[in-house]
Structures are given as structure tokens and as C-alpha cells.
Chain A
Amino acid sequence: MREKLLIGRLIDTGSPVHALDPRAKLTAMLLYAAMVVGARSWPALVVLTAFSFIVMASTRIPLRTYLKAAKPLRVLMLFILIVQCLAVKGGRVLVAAGSWHVDSAGLEAGAYAVARMVLLVSFTALLTFTTSPGQLNQGVEGMLRPFTRIGISPERLALMTGIALRFIPAILDEAQTIMKAQASRGADLKELPWKEKARMLTALLVPVTVGAFRRAEDLTASMESRGYRLGAPRTQYRPLIWSYRDTGFVAVFVLICLIVVWIGWI
């Protein structure tokens, strides 16, 4: 299961994007996400897709790896497609069954939503593919530093993100072990009908949740025994240094954003 999950995994190819400051990558990703979410037409998506491919290619990571990152969300995408098809009316009637009918406008809206989602998930995977979780933590902390004034603790949020990224593989491994244990007792989740699968999921979630709490407790003890205190002064092993390349990277994204807005596609 863990092998299939690509989000949160660093793929070190030593590309120039890997060497960028995580704050630059985070800023660029936020801009990109805003562009994708705000895109209201197919031409806008085409421009963004072309731009994405160029940036993805510069990381020296195969394109299919990015597409695989969106694969775990295929059920959600299918669900969105179905909902859009059934909810949005207009244009030609493509399929009709009694009072239910799928129109061309519904299909277009569904396909558009799915395309945006694929683009968003695939491209934002670039962040974790090219940044180690530790650097990502530092980046999040650095980005949130100005929000300290309104009571947000950047250190706390960065720590939460880091621990989540660190423990996702471990918790997935545990879930897989429990699933295997259940399968060995005759309850193979893969072979069960959907209704039974849903019921069995509860039997899976309880031990996984309990295990996660146990891990959290052990981790807290480990952190505290190594002298960790929230808010206590710390140095950084690899302090972040912003360079002209980082400014250039963000500037390219800002430029694309301005072009898209100027043309009126958002």
C-alpha cells in the first residue's frame, strides 16, 4: 500500500527545482493552486497544463510519476464526474433513463472538474517530490511566521505537518498488516461486496486509530526525552537561504498568473 502512495515522498534527482528554497516552492504552489481553482475555461486549463509540463520536466522526474500521484483520488474523481453529470443541465441530451438524463453541459462540467483536480494534485505533488519533509517543515514555519501576531503558532503547525508526513507510511503499513490479519481469518476486504467492505472498514479503523494514538504517545515521550519543548529556542541544521533563483522561480509563476488574468481567462 505504501509503495503505491507517492504523495509525501521525496524523489531526489538533484534537479535545480530540488535545490530551491521550500518557501519559494510553497509560494509558487499557492499561486498555481489559485490559478487552477480560478480557471473558468478550457483554454485557461490548456495554458496551465502546458506550463505544468515544462516545470515538471525541469524536475527530471518522469511525467507518469506525477500522474500516478493523482491515482489514489480516482474514486473521488469518478464521484465528482457523476454528480456533475447529473446536477448540471443544458445542451444536448446524451443519455436518458426515465426522469434521469445526462446533458452535454453536465458532462463538460464533470470533465472540467476532473481535469482541474488531476492538474492540481499532480502538480502540487511536485512540492513533496522535490522537497524533504524536514525542509518542507522549515518552509511552512517560515511562511507562517508573520501570522504569529494573530495567535497562529507556525512551529506547532510545521511540527504537525512534519509528523503527519512522517507517519503516513507507518500508519498505512499498520493498516495493511491488520488487513492481512483479517484476511487470514477469512475476511479478505478485496473479495467482499461493497456493503460488507464498508462494515469491515470499521473493524479496520478502530485498531488503526488506537495504534495511531499509541504511536503519538510514544513519539511524545521520545521528543520530550530529547529535550523538545514547544517555543524553546532551537537552531536549524540546514537554515533556509533565499537566493535569486528562488525569486526567479516565484516571478515566473507570478508572470503566468498575470498573463492568465490579463487575457481574461480567470
Chain B
Amino acid sequence: MKARKAGRQQERAAPEDQGAAPVPAEKETWAQHAEEAADMVAWDNVSFAYDGQHADIDGVSLTIRKGEWVTLAGANGCGKSTLSRLMNGLLRASSGCISIGGIRLEAGTLGAIRQKIGMVFQNPDNQFIGATVEEDMAFGLEGLCLDTEEIRERITRYAGRLGIGQLLRRHPQELSGGQKQRAALAAILAMEPELIILDEASSMLDEKARSEMLELLREMHGETRYTLLSITHDAEEIFASQRVLVMDRGRVVADVAPDMLFRNGELLRLCRMEPPFRLQLARELEQRGVMTADGVTGAMLNPVVEEMRKWAFGSSM
């Protein structure tokens, strides 16, 4: 409860910290505001309940600016995937307003909204529609009513970019986990969306494939044309992003910078996460007085090494 309260305080404080303007109460003004303020995503008091009674998303308001990389963190079942599915109308909000790239999400604007959003899901096996990588990439592009030449050009360009050019004729089942997720991402990128949602897209990958995926995301973010929203438990991916929205029981309870998340024990407990090793090490060294946030001086180097040795092997050695 205390954590939740603390989180809410941070949530309220966050917009000013992040430089985002507050959301006006009046809806029409709010939609105009979303467009003018270059917000890629703007939610105003959105709620949703699977059973129509118990809120799974409870009055969430948030903004994500164009080109930003935001992580959605939280324990399993807290509503992260539900929130991402509300974003492109896979689920319909029971109340509140959602705006994507200045377009308000309604039945009439669903097609336009979905052109702006690309979603990469957790299990790559279940998101392939085509029987080959090439057919799968073409699927979304055919829906955009592009001509054959344009489809071929985009497939070649994005498959080359993601290093899967030689896999285009392969059946998805014949690919490794990392290749599958690259192919899924290539199919999304070929549609040239503005916002890419990664719903635990790296959770089923091995270490190597995961770091390759992370590198790709860094590259994409560097281009500034994509807004990224990644749902993840991976500490490195969280660190690579700019903001972390922490969710608990259907509410966004904190909006913090990644390093702040790992320094806040309450938030970490809420997300059921452990700080990454390098942070744990830094904390231990800090507690032993051999390292400060400013760094390690030459004079402190020997004690640092000695302390690390003791920490790693115990004092008996």
C-alpha cells in the first residue's frame, strides 16, 4: 500500500520531470493538445475490465512523446499486456480516451491507428501468418494496398536491415528463436509504423539473441523515427530505455527514469525484479565506502580490488 502511494506520488511528479505537459481535463481540448504537444500516445483516464466489473486497467492517464523509448514494467498479471492491447484497439476501453499520433481511437479510426502501431508479441511462433518469411512480411503490406514492386522493395530493404535476407524462402518453423523474432520485427518494420510495441518480445530468446535484439532496438531508437514501448522484465532492456512506467493492479503507479527504478527497493519489489549485477556490485562497494557515485580515484583503486576480492571470495582467503 505504502509502495503504491509512493508510486502514485512519483507518477504525479513525473510529467514535470520528463518535460511532458499536463493533460487538460476537457476531452476535445485534450485531443488537440495531444496532437500539438507531439505526443505519440496520450491516454486520459482510461479504464477497462475483462468481466465488465472489476477493473483490469483502472483510470490510467499517460503520455509518450514521439521518438521516446518507454518501458512498461510490473509483476505478471498487473495489466501490462492489457494496456498494450488497448493501445491499438485489440481491446476496447470501457471509459476514457486514447489518442495515437493525434488521432483519437474510435471505431472509425481503428484502421488509421493500426497503421501507426506495430506490435511484436512474446511468442514468435504464434504471430506468423505466412508460410514463409517472405509471405509473412508481405501479409501486412498487402493490407496497406501497396503494389507488387513496393512490397518487394520493402521486403528486401527491411529483411536486409535485420539480417534475414537469406531466410525469406524459409518456413518460420525452420528458424531459430532469434531469427523468428527478427523476422517478426522485420514484418512490422516493413509496414513503417510510428509506434512499436514489444510485448515481452525478448523473453523467449537466449542470451545472444536477446542482446542482438537489444542492439536492434538501440539502433531503431537512435533513428528517432520510431517511438518504442517495450514490456519487459529484462534489466538491460529497461536500462536502454528512457522512461519506465511501473504498473500495479491495473494502474500506473510510477513514472521514473530506469536507474531510479533500480535504486528504489519498493518499486523493484512491485515489479518482482532484482537489480542487475553491476548495480548490486556498485551498491556493495558504496556501502563499504570504497566507491562513491562520483567514481573511483587512483588512491582508492587498491582497496576497491581488495574489497571486490573479499566480496567475491569471502574474507578467509
Contacts and interface: CB of A to CB of B under 8 A. Distances in A.
A134 B90 contact: no
Nearest to B140: A226
Interface in B75-132: 85, 88, 90, 111, 114-115, 117-119, 121, 123, 125-132
A187 B130 CA distance: 36
A166 B111 contact: no
Contacts of B90: 221, 224-225
Nearest to A9: B171
Interface stretch (A34-42, A91-99, A178-186, A235-243): A235-243
A170 to B, nearest CB: 6
A227 B130 contact: no
B246 interface: no
A224 B130 CA distance: 14
Contacts of A233: 145
Interface string B224-249: 00000000000000000000000000
Interface in B124-165: 125-132, 135, 138-148, 151-152
A132, A162, A222, A228, most chain B CB atoms within 10 A: A222
B191 interface: yes
Contacts, number: 101
A165 B128 CA distance: 12
B189 to A, nearest CB: 12
A236 B127 contact: no
A219 B151 CA distance: 22
Interface residues of B, number: 39
A214 interface: yes
B131 A236 contact: no
Contacts of A234: 142-143, 145
B126 A218 contact: yes
A237 B148 contact: yes
Contacts of B148: 235-239
Nearest to A162: B131
B173 interface: yes
A132 B132 contact: yes
Contact of B143 (A134, A165, A215, A227): A227
A218 B123 contact: yes
Given A132-B131, A162-B131, A237-B138, A225 B119 contact: yes
Nearest to A232: B143
B105 to A, nearest CB: 13
A170 B173 contact: yes
B127 A219 contact: yes
A35 B140 CA distance: 40
Contacts of B140: 226-228
B141 A237 contact: yes
B173 A2 contact: yes
Given A166-B128, A169-B173, A218-B127, A227 B119 contact: no
Contacts of A232: 111, 143
A229 B111 contact: yes
B108 to A, nearest CB: 13
A221 B144 CA distance: 17
Residue from the set A162, A170, A237, A238 with the largest chain B CB neighbour count within 10 Å: A237
A235 B151 CA distance: 10
Interface in B162-199: 169, 171, 173, 187-188, 191
Contacts of B125: 170, 215
Interface string A196-227: 00000000000000000011001101111111
Given A236-B142, A237-B141, A222 B111 contact: no
B145 A235 contact: yes
A84 B123 CA distance: 48
B119 A222 contact: yes
A237 B148 CA distance: 5
B145 A223 contact: no
A265 to B, nearest CB: 38
19 contacts: A134-B130, A162-B131, A165-B131, A166-B128, A173-B173, A218-B121, A219-B129, A221-B121, A222-B127, A225-B117, A225-B118, A226-B143, A228-B140, A228-B143, A229-B111, A234-B142, A234-B145, A237-B152, A238-B148
